[in-house]
Structure formats: C-alpha cells, structure tokens
Amino acid sequence: QKEVEQNSGPLSVPEGAIASLNCTYSDRGSQSFFWYRQYSGKSPELIMFIYSNGDKEDGRFTAQLNKASQYVSLLIRDSQPSDSATYLCAVSGDDKIIFGKGTRLHILP
C-alpha cells in the first residue's frame, strides 16, 4: 500500500529560525509532490509543489526533493508566529494523490 509518512510533531521552532519539515513516501513512481498548510479549523491551502529533484524556492519557503531517497522536505526561513499550523505533504502519481497525516509546527515568539 502506498504511504506518505510525516512526523506528527509538534515541532517547536523559535521565531526567526529555520523550520525543517520532512516527508517520506513509498511509491517510487510518484511524480508530483505538494506541501499544504492547514490552520486549525481551516481547509488546506497549497504552499508549494515540486516535480524535479533539487530545490525550489518561493519567498521564505524552499521545497527539496530527492527521488532516489524518496523524501521531500520543506524549509521555512525566518519563521513567523503566523507559520504555526499543520503542514501536509501530498504525493501523487498515476492520477492518485495521497496525503500524509501532517506535522504540527509551533513557532515560539
């Protein structure tokens, strides 16, 4: 069965520091990788997607993909209290998408 694994946390990071979120997946045929942010009581919203090995940067966010090791990560630089949320990793291939359980991130003021 295809799986997406994330550490449930909570991950506590001081304000201004770098938050590092990790995700591993089991299906080597996976093609697309997404990071969603979900505030408590709200629906998920897309932060970034990545398709190719390497890094992809968007503002304070950097997604990193290593298909050989089957992991994808999200770095958040200069963490802000507003970044406190659950971060969902989603992996898709063959028209199917699977979400991880999410990592709770808490930015300490």
CA-wise closest residue to 14 among 101, 104, 103, 78: 78
Query: Could you tell me how far CA 23 lies from the centroid of its own chain?
Result: 7
Report how far residue 41's alpha carbon sits from residue 50's, in angstroms, rounded to the nearest whole number: 26
String of contacts with other proteins for each residue 36-75, x by CB under 8 A: ------xxxxx--x-x------------------------
Stretch that binds other proteins, among 11-19, 53-61, 74-82, 90-98 (CB under 8 A): 90-98
- Alpha-carbon span 56 to 65, nearest angstrom: 9
Q: Does 88 bind other proteins (CB under 8 A)?
A: yes
Binding-residue total with other proteins (CB under 8 A): 25
Residues 6+ apart with CB under 8 A from 2: 25, 26, 27, 91, 96, 98
Nearer to other proteins, 38 or 70 (CB): 38
Under the criterion CB under 8 A, does residue 31 sit at the interface with other proteins? yes
Binding site for other proteins (CB under 8 A): 4, 6, 8, 31-32, 34, 42-46, 49, 51, 88, 92-102
